[in-house]
A and B are shown apart, each in its own frame.
Chain A
Amino acid sequence: MRPRARMLVLLLVTALALGGAGAYALSAYLAYQHRVSGPSQADVAVVLPQGPHVLFRNTAAGTGYGMVASVPLADPAGPRSLTDMPCDRVYRAAGTLSCMRTVRGVPTTFEEQVYDAAGARLGAWPLAGIPSRTRVSADGLVATTAFVTGHSYAGDAFSTETVIRSADGRDLGNLEDFTASVDDRELTAVDRNVWGVTFAADAQTFYATVASGGQTWLMRGSLSDRTLRAVASNAECPSLSPDGRHIAYKKRRGATMPVHWDIAVLDLATHKEQLIRLPNGLDDQLEWLDDRTLLFGQPRPNAVGDSDVWRLDAAAGSTPELFIEHAWSPSVQRR
């Protein structure tokens, strides 16, 4: 090709590439406008549910996408009521609602907001990274786990930041600073990461995942002593049952790639662990529907940004059933 022809081809390629990308971005913008303002993909009611209900992030396309929504426990497949509160992860206990959200901008930032039962804001603070897990204790303490990443995936690692605060934002500690021990030996190493807090009924005890050197442990933590002690190994994102007798968590299956997690349920009295194998795996912090049933979110295949909440009997051999469509981050309100 002659230089002039090359330049023409280059100009053409550039114009097509930029034009195509611009057109796509515009259509994505219009589609987004349609999605957040169009009619919802799910049945929507404007009435707040009376009595026990499940709170979740609504992922149905249309009005209310990404907003906190709820369905009555008695009719989880029925119409959902929407709020105008956008949250990536949501959890509510003792009338205190924890909402981890993404704040769009240059750069994108993340924040935590806490609301009381009446919807008044109790506190807000910036998060160190991408929202991952949140739980609220019976007396209204808020635990959040955020993924801290650099600006580049060339970075060689991620880390988590898990902190517990009072509802108005008073810092009760970064769990990485707690003294962690395995079999009474202090875990001084190093690359410690902590994530996925679940609170016990008293105001002192909690459980969380501690990871180091490619291993993970379920640890029991004490807020007053600022300690973490290993209870079991290979356990992530624990969730304590309402009666406080069982802990359900993710358990990694072998050294497979991609990572595959099954569910395990530990009986705290007998220390027996029951494994529930899931062919499709899961990657969420489990939530208890009642003392024998688990809930978890699962991304919807072939639909980016959409997911469903599944229910599962906490017994070996059980299989998940669809619980709430177009939903994520379930939080059960039993009263």
Chain B
Amino acid sequence: MYLSLSQWRTQGSATERNDLQRVAFRLSPTIIALGIVSMLTDISSESVAAVLPLFITGALGLSMVAYGFLEGLNQGLSAVVRIAAGYAADRSDRPKHVALAGYGLSMVARVGLLFAQGFAGITAIIGLDRIGKGIRTAPRDAMIQHAAQPEHLARSFGVHRMLDTIGATIGPLLAFAVLFVVPDGFRAVFVVSLAFAVIGVAVLALVVPNTSLRAKPATGIGDGDRGGGPAATAPAGAGTAPAATAHAGPAGAGAGPATEASAVPAAVHATPAVPRPRMREIATPAMRRLLGTAGLLGLVTVGDGFVYLALMEHGHLQTAWFPLLFVGTNTVFLALAIPLGRVADKTNRATVFVLGHVALGAAYLAAAAGTGLGIVLLCLALLGVFYAATDGVLAALASQWSPPGAASTGIAAAQTVVAVARLAASTCFGVLWVVFGAVPTMTGAAVVLAAIVPLGLWLMAGAARRSDGGGQQTRPPAARRGSGVPGGGA
């Protein structure tokens, strides 16, 4: 990844455009900025998340029973808000404003946490934070898609997910370190968390350009990176979004204050803006297949917590290690997010996404076997591979198959489908766990997953045919990780 603008190709002939090998990867400063925003926000939210149970029981003297009760409510709220915010971002064509509202709301929630007293207060504040998270993710991913080169879409999402995961790993460690120095310093953790939230919002407000997604810059740099190549790669007569791609939006080029975009001609073609999205149009045949596949696979994707618990069941690990297992998964995730995104771009994103679940199935089997430290490490690594192969790649897929101007809505739809499917999976899995025990349930899940993967491959092959004949694409929008990501998400 490099930021130098010097190698930007000033000319790109149509013949080159489908040649993925020849479009040099250039990372948009916008994507780095958004990645840093996510990293800071994850440090903020995960540090609070790590100590919240302790704070509620230890400092506020409340039982977790009361707390656990809320979770279902919050999950539902988050899903509804997510779709509404995605739609609002498309409708207004101001994804940054919508994302800013989401990040801002979570920041306000951190302020509220400083004054939280009783259970009702905590409930309201966690709800507020969840709403903020629901609002921000889809518009944020749509901005990533917009800023990415279509040829390197999955890799660009990989960069973002890597930064995001770094934040999710630092957060809890930072919080425990603060509590280690100041044993009852929950407020200190909250103040530190607020500081990172404020900086995150400041980076978003001050550094990330206020782009319009409808108008696609054809040559912009920075946030307009799709330029040069992109229009290019749109296969002639592409099904769902023919005209969408290379349109030089005036807004696109002009909007990047921090991107030096002006060094490059702003627009090549000036084409009419894409009309406002309508909900029904989101469900293109390709999108339907993607949502179906992601949903099916999501139904066999249980929370990491279960995998970790299964590892603990074998008794080779001390209970004390439980809270640190996610560090292992996250390390592999962040190390492989970019390389696997790259592989997805060069081969076939849909295939990589589906095959990533093979790593998940292998992780289940490793958790079921669980003999010895080597298997434990292998299991954590496989989980990391799974996230690296699927999280950013799903985002890339959902975005590339969304109709033009509807990226945020499409992304939000994919996120919600995955989140709801995984929630259902975890609930169902919990039941089977108690009835059959850890090892049979883990093994069973791996078997079911093995059966679903070929079905997923078949569905996705159909989706690629229906979109525009090719696996790799032109129009990138973005989707987002579901709620089951290690570290809990952005």
A contact residues vs B (CB 8 Å cutoff): 1-3, 6-7, 9-10, 13-14, 17-18, 20-21, 24-25, 28-29, 32, 65-66, 88, 102, 104-109, 126-132, 147, 149-158, 160, 176, 188-192, 195, 211, 236, 257-259, 283-284, 297-299, 301-302, 304-305, 307, 328
Contact = CB atoms under 8 A, between A and B. Distances in A.
A147 B488 contact: no
Contacts of A132: 57, 63-64
User: Closest 8 interchain pairs by CB?
Assistant: A152-B488, A154-B488, A21-B195, A299-B61, A107-B323, A17-B195, A28-B188, A147-B64
A258 B120 CA distance: 6
A276 B275 CA distance: 63
11 contacts: A24-B192, A32-B185, A107-B172, A107-B324, A127-B319, A130-B54, A150-B303, A153-B53, A154-B489, A156-B71, A191-B434
Given A28-B185, A152-B488, A153-B52, A190 B435 contact: yes
Given A14-B199, A302-B117, A25 B430 contact: no
A155 B206 CA distance: 33
A253 to B, nearest CB: 13
B271 to A, nearest CB: 29
Contacts of B191: 20-21, 24-25, 28
A106 B172 CA distance: 9
Interface string B60-76: 11111111111110010
A163 to B, nearest CB: 12
Contacts of B483: 154
Contact of B257 (A6, A299, A302): A6
Interface of B: 46, 49-54, 57-72, 75, 117-120, 123, 126, 172-173, 176-188, 191-192, 194-196, 198-199, 202-203, 206-207, 257-258, 303-305, 308, 318-320, 322-324, 326, 423, 426-427, 430-431, 434-435, 483, 487-489
Given A126-B318, A156-B426, A259 B61 contact: no
A305 B59 contact: yes
Contacts of B324: 107
A149 B58 CA distance: 14
A259 B194 contact: no
Contacts, number: 213
A157 B195 contact: no
Given A106-B180, A126-B319, A151-B323, 6 more contacts: A17-B199, A20-B195, A28-B187, A32-B182, A153-B488, A304-B60
Contacts of B54: 102, 108, 130
Contact of B423 (A1, A107, A131, A156): A156
A283 B64 CA distance: 10
Contacts of B489: 154
A257 to B, nearest CB: 8
B168 to A, nearest CB: 9
Residue in A13, A88, A102 whose Cβ sees the most chain B Cβ within 10 Å: A13
Contacts of A65: 184
A258 B118 CA distance: 10
A18 B40 CA distance: 12
A107 B176 contact: yes
A151 B172 contact: yes
Contact of B195 (A18, A105, A152, A236): A18
Given A20-B195, A151-B172, A6 B319 contact: no
A102 B60 contact: no
B288 to A, nearest CB: 27
A147 B308 CA distance: 16
B431 to A, nearest CB: 4
Nearest to A59: B61
B65 A236 contact: yes
B68 A158 contact: yes
B431 A190 contact: yes
A242 B462 CA distance: 71
Contacts of A211: 65
A305 B184 contact: yes
A328 B178 contact: no
Contacts of A28: 182, 185, 187-188, 191
Nearest to B426: A156
Contacts of A126: 318-320
A152 B46 contact: yes
B18 to A, nearest CB: 35
Residue in A132, A147, A258 whose Cβ sees the most chain B Cβ within 10 Å: A258
A10 B303 contact: no
A284 B62 CA distance: 8
Contact of A32 (B65, B177, B183): B183
A132 B68 CA distance: 14
A156 B434 contact: no
Residue in B65, B181, B423 whose Cβ sees the most chain A Cβ within 10 Å: B65
Contacts of B178: 25
Contact of B207 (A10, A158, A191, A259): A10
A297 B52 contact: no
Given A13-B198, A106-B177, A307-B61, A152 B257 contact: no
A9 B117 contact: no
B423 A104 contact: no
A252 to B, nearest CB: 9
Contacts of A153: 49, 52-53, 71, 126, 488
Contact of A158 (B64, B181, B195): B64
Given A14-B202, A153-B126, A154-B49, A128 B319 contact: yes
Nearest to A31: B182
A154 B304 CA distance: 11
Contact of A259 (B69, B182, B305): B69
Contacts of B58: 88, 102, 130, 305
Contacts of A17: 194-196, 198-199, 202
Contacts of B59: 304-305
Nearest to A301: B117
Contacts of A299: 60-62, 118
B305 A155 contact: yes
A195 B63 CA distance: 11
A66 B183 CA distance: 11
Contacts of A150: 303-305, 308
A178 to B, nearest CB: 13
Contacts of A128: 319, 322
B176 to A, nearest CB: 4
A10 B117 contact: no
B72 to A, nearest CB: 7
Given A28-B185, A106-B176, A132-B63, A3 B258 contact: yes
B257 A1 contact: yes
Nearest to B257: A3
A269 B323 CA distance: 46
Nearest to B71: A156
